[in-house]
């Protein structure tokens, strides 16, 4: 009995000791197990990166959409700083011998020659008669003019890349231009100093073939049958127009009843197209 009692009594401390040891091991094990900070930081970084990529993509899409022409966004160029806007009456034509006393330099609206300058991505190496260039704007083209004394080499190549082969685009030197670059569409103009200015593409996207801003959207840009030779265009005239020049209010110009060169009637014409493709001469 004595030995049995001794054995029974000694079992309790052993059980308590085992429990204490287990508790210590549990505490030690818990203390030694570190939190996965690296994984947590990595996950946070991935989430932040994904959010940044999504935000950037959203901003890029939103930026492109603001230059898209639509019924709800008829003049996206209002989002471009520096654009000058003026209202001009369309379909006022002059003959090849007449000049117009334009109110802007380069002009971006007003009376113009019966024949439009070819505007199928044409880059003219020499300055072209202004009255022909303005007519191309009426059809929805964008004219890139540049000062040949200020835009050369790589800058000139950048501008050419925006124009060459592009429909409703034309480009030419403009002697005496007060800024290195002038972008013009009908009733709109933006003058810039650098050929890599992002506003160049914004202007083109906003106004080229813009049916809400151009008097004759979809008008022809080829010069076939018009009398305008893109390989030998009428030259730019630097001298100021004389007192007999057509004024900006159209005095001396013909109205919309006179058809354009090349057998293409003005959309406001009040007479039917001439038979046989003939074009009546403009009234003087």
The structural domains of the chain, with segments of one domain joined by +, span: 23-66, 85-263
**pLDDT attached to residue 274:** 28
Q: Judge whether residue 88 has pLDDT over 60.
A: yes
Q: How confident is the model at residue 205 (pLDDT cuts 50, 70, 90)?
A: very high
What mean pLDDT is reported for the chain? 82
In percent, how much of the chain has pLDDT > 70? 71
CB atoms within 10 A of CB 210: 21
**pLDDT attached to residue 283:** 32
Q: How confident is the model at residue 254 (pLDDT cuts 50, 70, 90)?
A: confident
Return the closest-CA partner of residue 253 out of 128, 22, 91: 91
Q: What is the pTM of this model?
A: 0.71
d(CA 225, CA 227): 6
Look at 58-62, 103-107, 212-216 and tell me which has the smallest mean pLDDT: 58-62
Q: Judge whether residue 55 has pLDDT over 70.
A: no
When pLDDT is averaged across residues 257-263 and rounded to a whole number, the result is 45
d(CA 87, CA 98): 22
When pLDDT is averaged across residues 131-159 and rounded to a whole number, the result is 98
Which residues are bridge partners to 59 per DSSP? none
Q: How confident is the model at residue 257 (pLDDT cuts 50, 70, 90)?
A: very low
18-31 per-position pLDDT tens digit:
665 665 655 555 55
Q: Judge whether residue 240 has pLDDT over 80.
A: yes
Indicate the angle between helix axes 199-207 and 153-163, nearest 10 degrees. 20
Structure tokens at 44: 């946070």
Task: Let me know how many helices (H) and strands (E) the chain has, helices first.
Answer: 5, 8
Residue by residue, what is the 3-state secondary structure of 47-73?
HHHHHHHHHHHHHHHHHHHCCCCECCE
**pLDDT attached to residue 245:** 97
When pLDDT is averaged across residues 122-137 and rounded to a whole number, the result is 98
Structure tokens at 251: 């005095």
**What is the distance of C-alpha 145 from the center of its chain?**
16
The number of C-alpha atoms within 13 Å of 178 and in the hemisphere containing its C-beta is 6
């Amino acid at each position: 009995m004595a030995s049995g009692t001794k054995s029974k009594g000694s079992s309790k401390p052993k059980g308590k000791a085992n429990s204490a040891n287990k508790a210590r091991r549990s505490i030690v094990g818990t203390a030694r197990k570190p939190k996965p900070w690296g994984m947590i930081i990595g996950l946070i970084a991935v989430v932040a990166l994904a959010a940044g990529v999504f935000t950037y993509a959203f901003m890029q899409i939103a930026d492109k959409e603001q230059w898209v022409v639509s019924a709800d966004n008829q003049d996206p160029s209002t989002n471009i700083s520096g654009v000058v806007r003026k209202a001009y009456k369309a379909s006022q034509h002059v003959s090849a011998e007449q000049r117009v006393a334009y109110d802007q330099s380069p002009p971006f609206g007003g009376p113009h020659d019966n024949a439009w300058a070819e505007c199928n991505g044409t880059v003219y190496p020499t300055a072209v008669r202004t009255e022909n260039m303005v007519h191309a704007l009426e059809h929805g083209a964008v004219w890139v003019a540049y000062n040949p004394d200020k835009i050369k080499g790589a800058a000139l190549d950048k501008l050419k890349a925006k124009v060459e082969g592009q429909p409703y685009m034309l480009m030419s030197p403009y002697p005496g231009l007060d800024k290195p670059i002038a972008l013009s569409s009908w009733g709109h103009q933006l003058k810039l100093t650098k050929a890599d200015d992002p506003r160049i593409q914004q202007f083109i996207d906003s106004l080229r073939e813009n049916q809400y801003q151009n008097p004759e959207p979809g008008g022809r840009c080829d010069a076939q049958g018009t009398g305008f030779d893109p390989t030998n265009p009428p030259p730019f005239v630097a001298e100021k127009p004389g007192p007999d020049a057509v004024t900006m209010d159209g005095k001396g110009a013909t109205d919309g009843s006179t058809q354009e060169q090349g057998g293409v009637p003005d959309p406001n014409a009040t007479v039917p197209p001439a038979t046989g493709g003939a074009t009546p001469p403009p009234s003087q």
